[in-house]
Structure 1
Amino acid sequence: ETLTNELIEAARATIAEIDALGGSIAAIESGWMQGRIGDSAYLAQQAIERKEAIVVGVNAFVDADTRAATPALQRIDERVEREQMERLQRFRSLRDGGAVAGRLASVRNAAAGSENLMPHFLEAVDAGATLGEICNVLREVFGTYHARESLA
């Protein structure tokens, strides 16, 4: 019961902190919420590395015959890259550029407002917009996320 009470008090303190920031939306917009998530992840990883938190197969009860899995770096064959770029250029040359531009403008307008973006994404893709083009529009509207520095 003591642990439950401590958890409740910690939750109430966090809620009070969010309220003091102006509510959930303000806490998210200010970066506070993402910062707390990052801080928590950092502290959890530190606890695992110090073996204060046990994760079977990671920092305890690790099979001695199993080497640490190190993923191989993916290397893109230059020929494959060149062929893909040619396919993309061919795809773009065969689509209706005006229709694509119109659908991307629709995505931009919806993103700048409060509409559900999914129908606009689907229309843009149906017109031949690429994922990169759609993402570029979203970056124009929302910018690029940069995580804040944390000293957890």
Structure 2
Amino acid sequence: MNKSRVGTAVITWLSFLGFYMLFCGKADPLEAVAGGAAALLALKLVGMLRDSFISPLRVKPAWLLLAWRLPPAMFSESWLLLVALIRELRGKENTGVTIEHPFDFTADRHESARRAWMTFGVCITPNSYLVFVDRERRRVVIRQLVGREISTIDRLFVELS
């Protein structure tokens, strides 16, 4: 093991420990021991995952333009959820749907970035979240909390090309 990897591991471990201590809210020696153990576990998990993400994410610049559509979508979907909550409080039941939608698993240099950007775009809006990515059937499963069909913003992120 070379010195730079050891140094990186120590700095990462200290960062994890610092975050743990910050979030626990007290400077207790037992918390420091627990934080050290949790930081060591987190360091091990990061090391195991590092090899899975060797290739860099190659995002197409056109995909970044979708980010401008997120704030209005977040606002409108939050409004939908507020209306659904009020309806629910009045005794009217709201049920969402689980939607299967085709997803292009093109094996190109953008594949990892396409899946990451799609996951981000679907999950950042409050009315939907990604449940499952079925590579064999080339589909994604999305849970829509309010509404009966995939939202426009989710469709745009799922149908990236």
TM range (shorter): under 0.3
- Decide which structure has greater helix share: 1
TM-score (norm 2): 0.23
- Decide which structure has greater strand share: 2
Larger radius of gyration: 1
